A and B are shown apart, each in its own frame.
Chain A
Amino acid sequence: MEGSSLAPSLKNIAPQQEYLLQGSILDAHRDTLLHRLRGLCDNAESSFEMFNDYEAVYTLRNSSTTQQNDPFLFRVRRALDHPDAADHIRYLGNAEIGLGDRRPTLVRACLDVACSKNVREFLTEMGFRMDHDYVARGVFFHKGRMKVMVYKIYKLIQPGITDAKNLEQLGNSHVVELSVVAPLGQEQIGEDMKNFADQLKPLVLLEKLDHKNL
């Protein structure tokens, strides 16, 4: 089951695409950005929505195929501050990025499913291996159907344990993400996202990043 061969069948099941713009901001200027976002997004009068998520990435390597550098990734995410919320499995396809791509945002196929708590054992039994994990903690905004997240990535010294003692900051900056999940073929979303990103211009530069170049 390769990632590329799964993509066409994915489009038949649930044609959801994620439009993504990413950027980063230094810790020192995070508060300015948060205030600006609070003014731009919905629910300006309520306080910040914090989130604290633990994400583990499981991969399935196919020894039967020759392509070893394209493993199949599942991202399993759990909310640490809301233990009664369901876990989520997320599959993200490869982004179509390159010289011919004129869209302002990164577009990739996205499948997001809620599942019960025993998903990790299930995946391990199926043959997935945990590749890496991290904790993301930050603030969440939304405007219409756009999600804006400003979060900080923490590395786990020992994988699996999410106590505060086990966490280590990764870098001195926060990641800023702007994403919309929508069905195929709506180009207007990209334009709207670009306009929104322009309003944050001097503080943070949101752009589409080619993940293969990282």
Chain B
Amino acid sequence: MAAPSVNVCVEAALENPIQEVKYDGQEVYVAPLTMSENLSKLAHKINFFKDESEEKGKPTSEGERETDEEKVLAPFQPSLWPWDSVRNKLKSALTEISVLYDVLSIVKEKHYMVTDPVSQDAPELKAPLQMIAKKKSLVSVCQILNTGADRLKRVQAEMDSNTQDNFLWELLQLRKNWRLKKVHNTILGELSYKSAGSRFWQGGTFEVLKTSDLAAEGDVTNKKSSLDVSIPSELEGVAYIQVEVKSVPDLIDLTSATLKMPASLGAVSADAYWQQKLETAHNVLFCKELFAQLAREAVQIKGSTPHLVVGNQILTNVFPGFQLSIVLCHYTGKEKKVNLSPTKPEHNHVLEHSLHQLLRKVHDNNLNTSPPHPVNSMLGMTKRRRLAGPQAMSRQELVQMTHSESILEQIVKQTRHAVLRIRSMNVIDQLAITMQDPQICAHWSCLNNSLESSVRLTITSYCFEANRTPLILIIGIDNIRVILREGGTCVLSFEENELRDFLQWQICQHHAQSVQTLAKLHGWQVLSAIVSSGHGDIETYGTTSTVMLASPKGNVILAFHSSPVNGSKLSVKKVDTSLESNISPAVTAAKWASLAGEFKEVNLSQLEGRNLTGKIDMLMARLTVLS
């Protein structure tokens, strides 16, 4: 509890002593000293004598005498002028000082008095002590030098790496590659593709920082550059689009697709060079835009086959049994390690590259509109569209002009073509390996694009290359066009069995053709050559080719059947013209006499000869001789 404040008054205490107290109680004070009286009182207190005797030893006796005189004088004249003692003391001090001055002037002249320094003995030196002392001093010297050297080294290192000049140089390099602008005190850069024609909603802005501001004081880090960039958080990490074509033979429906996480890539380290960081972020943005575009198209466009979009994966059927999956893989380095799936997914780099190219083409079309000629006309129209008015195009033509393909459709087409091409290649190679008899040689054309390729097949028999069956296959998106030997065309579907059957059929026709050629060589007569003969059972595919030959002398008939299903058959009939009895006048030569009759089948596998043509060649040669 605070007590109420008490007023305290301060006043000077009465210092004047009381001289007397009168009978009536009144106090009479001693009058206070005047200024001069006070001063004289204080002056009395100064002891001039004492100072003199300390300075010099000589005039001590004189001073003593003086004080004696003073003391003698003092009792006699107590009420003398109070400054008297002071005056005397000052007078004696003057005397002393003049004497001293005289002595000094005499010494200076060096006639009568000379001063000499007093020589003193040098102190005795102790060697170990001296060495220790020297060592200590040297150590301190070394320390000073070391600190100086350290400072210089640090400054030098700083000059090499983190100076203002270096930062500006790096900034110049950065400016050459990226768009920068200065906003207040910070430098911002642009990561998006907007200047290249992109219309994506997400933009990337990165900030340029100086690493010398971030390093601690006195910490000389070994950084590669003095410039650092900070990427926005949604573009951190590494991303790529994974494109995979897999065959799922029993899964026609897409609902049971499994999401496989591919092997994780390393995230970009924080110490990486700024160009690398920026490029990675740039790529992340591009992949995001690409995937967003594909997902939008997959949902909106109603194609013949449904597309499935699940999270970051798009699945679609290209052929029955073949699935295309496009996955956006984005690793920020913060996810926990996922166990790698046992089957490593096969990433199709060509299709990924095509996707990138397609998106770039879209960007390009946004930006590069054909310039108007004359320049008054509107921007952004194609040349055809500009001519639509004057040329009076119909509505249908206009609608057709506006129709453009989406990226997803284009990539599906490319995938289809790729699958078809690979499959056809496999079929042809398989057939070429397994079939020794006629040799199949395939020349794939170098000039092809992502939607069309062509291959030229040649079927020949070894040693009988004069007869060659050429075939040209043009592999499109989902069908194969074939140009036959005679120049006719036919169209095959995407089934690979169809191609195999077709090639088998062509081989049979080739056999038949080579037999015909042999006839020319040997001089045999071709009685009939039918490509698609009607007799015999109907085969499951292809048709039977038949050739009938007669020997020059007419007594041997050879019948050759070649069918893709049942293989080749050769029958010989020997004719004895002498046995023939009823010969009608229509028959002009003996060989026409017996076209029908018994044919004996020849076991082709046991004939001598390298291939079928060779065997028949050998047989014909023998039969020609025999007859």
A residues with a Cβ closer than 8 A to B are 42-43, 46, 49, 51, 53, 55, 75, 77-79, 81-82, 85-88, 90, 112-117, 140, 142, 145, 147, 149, 181
Contact = CB atoms under 8 A, between A and B. Distances in A.
B373 interface: yes
B386 A140 contact: no
Contact of A86 (B367, B379, B386): B386
B196 to A, nearest CB: 9
A142 B376 CA distance: 12
A142 B379 contact: yes
Interface string B366-385: 01110111111111100100
Given A75-B376, A77-B376, A145-B380, 17 more contacts: A43-B368, A51-B373, A53-B374, A53-B375, A53-B376, A55-B374, A81-B373, A85-B373, A85-B374, A86-B386, A86-B389, A87-B390, A112-B377, A117-B390, A140-B372, A147-B375, A181-B378
Contacts of B376: 53, 75, 77, 88, 90, 112
A113 B378 CA distance: 9
Nearest to B369: A142
A145 B369 CA distance: 10
Interface residues of B, number: 19
B390 A86 contact: yes
A137 B432 CA distance: 65
A114 B387 contact: yes
Nearest to A138: B375
Contact of B371 (A87, A140, A145): A140
Contact of A79 (B368, B374, B390, B391): B374
A114 B386 contact: yes
Contacts of B380: 145
A116 B387 CA distance: 9
Contacts of B374: 51, 53, 55, 77-79, 85, 87-88
Contacts of A49: 371
Chain A CB within 10 A, most for which of B373, B374, B376, B379: B374
Contacts of B369: 142
B371 A114 contact: no
Contacts of A142: 369, 371, 379
A147 B390 contact: no
A133 to B, nearest CB: 13
Contacts, number: 64
Interface of B: 367-369, 371-380, 383, 386-387, 389-391
Contacts of B368: 42-43, 46
A-B residue pairs, 8 tightest by C-beta: A79-B373, A53-B374, A82-B373, A77-B374, A79-B374, A86-B390, A85-B373, A116-B390
A141 to B, nearest CB: 9
A98 B383 CA distance: 39
B371 A88 contact: no
A86 B371 contact: no
Contacts of A51: 371, 373-375
A53 B372 CA distance: 11
Contact of A149 (B375, B378, B386, B391): B375
Given A81-B373, A85-B374, A147 B379 contact: yes
A114 B375 contact: no
A77 B377 CA distance: 10
23 contacts: A42-B367, A43-B368, A51-B375, A53-B373, A53-B376, A75-B376, A77-B376, A86-B387, A86-B389, A86-B390, A87-B390, A88-B374, A112-B377, A114-B386, A114-B387, A114-B390, A116-B391, A117-B390, A140-B375, A142-B371, A142-B379, A145-B380, A147-B379
Nearest to B387: A86
Nearest to B388: A114
A94 to B, nearest CB: 18
Nearest to A18: B376
A51 B372 CA distance: 9
A53 to B, nearest CB: 4
A170 B168 CA distance: 48
A78 B387 CA distance: 13
B377 A88 contact: yes
Nearest to A115: B390
B383 A85 contact: yes
Contact of A112 (B371, B378, B387, B391): B378
A56 B619 CA distance: 89
B372 to A, nearest CB: 8
Given A85-B383, A145-B379, A145-B380, A115 B373 contact: no
